[in-house]
Copies of this chain bind each other. A is one copy, B any other.
């Protein structure tokens, strides 16, 4: 059996969550069982409408569609991230999945909603055969050190800088 790898998509550029979803689609298309856990997200993103119809690609959201104050997060944001993390642990330990995506977990760690040591411990106990996908800006050095594939998305150009708003079906 393939040992399974740890992938990180980080950096300020576009394409971190979409890459993870693309990887999930690829894995699901190979008959693998995929689950995506979204941290700090609570909005019904358009892509989720499609995932709803793919049998072996499930997802769960553990966040609100609200701005989280990094210096002073609300208790509900901490609680939601913690629940997401416990869910991630449970699914990883279940050994029932071929790929698990921890979407935006790097940001949850950066915001100190989840402790870096907890995530490092969880990575260490990744079962053989599981692909673990970690996304979000601000990936910590120790996460990168303990991962196999690491891609940094650089933002070379973005129309936000010209004042364009986020658009449905494109940014979310």
Chain A positions within 8 Å of B, measured between CB atoms, are: 2, 5, 7-9, 11, 13-23, 25-32, 45-51, 53-54, 57, 98, 131, 144, 147-159, 164, 167-170, 172
Contact = CB atoms under 8 A, between A and B. Distances in A.
A99 to B, nearest CB: 8
A30 to B, nearest CB: 3
Contacts of A153: 13, 15, 151-154
B29 A169 contact: yes
B151 A154 contact: yes
Contact of A149 (B28, B32, B147, B158): B158
A170 B98 CA distance: 10
A25 B21 contact: yes
Nearest to A34: B169
A151 B14 contact: yes
Contacts of A15: 9, 15-16, 19, 22, 151, 153
A53 B50 CA distance: 10
A15 B19 CA distance: 5
Contacts of A168: 30
* Most B CB within 10 A of own CB, among A13, A17, A54, A168: A13
A135 to B, nearest CB: 10
B29 A50 contact: yes
Contacts of A30: 46, 49, 168-169
Contacts of A48: 29
Contact of A154 (B47, B50, B154): B154
